[in-house]
A = this chain, B = another copy of it.
């Protein structure tokens, strides 16, 4: 078990990923319950099952286990419903920390989000120029929420 402490931002300059190699991620949810989400993910040839608790501030408990890729595929196809998320993840190290920049596809096309995992809630970190508005704690941007209400369904306002 780990605690996940993460801050999430929009992106001012999407060109930041142009020189990076990305990894395609496909993921869906066996449970959208806000007290415990259960995520199935395929990353390359690997399958993962991840349980996350409720977010308190920027922190939530997280349990992650490898599963056979074919199990993950079958769970995505048969048990996760329609809202499977497809995105490319780029990693951009910053000192001892690392930005993860997710470029979404399909129904979430147009959405790009940067996350940084921190050792503690009050860890300092630099905010690069390409970073936009912070959306930590905005439930619309949770991947579990994007799987049921994708970005292309958000009302313009």
For window 15-51 of chain A, which residues contact chain B by CB distance below 8 Å? 30-31, 33, 35-36, 38, 49, 51
For window 54-75 of chain A, which residues contact chain B by CB distance below 8 Å? 61, 63, 65, 67, 70-71, 74-75
Closest Cβ of chain B to A33, distance in Å, is 6
Q: Which range holds the interface residue count of chain A?
A: 20 to 34
Closest Cβ of chain B to A16, distance in Å, is 35
Binary B-proximity of A99-112 (CB < 8 A = 1, otherwise 0): 00000000000000
Taking beta carbons and an 8 Å cutoff, which residues of A are in contact with B?
1, 30-31, 33, 35-36, 38, 49, 51, 53, 61, 63, 65, 67, 70-71, 74-75, 78-81
Please name the 4 residue pairs, one residue from A and one from B, whose CB atoms are nearest each other, closest first. Answer: A31-B31, A36-B79, A30-B36, A38-B38
Task: Find chain B residues with CB under 8 A from A35 CB.
Answer: 79, 81
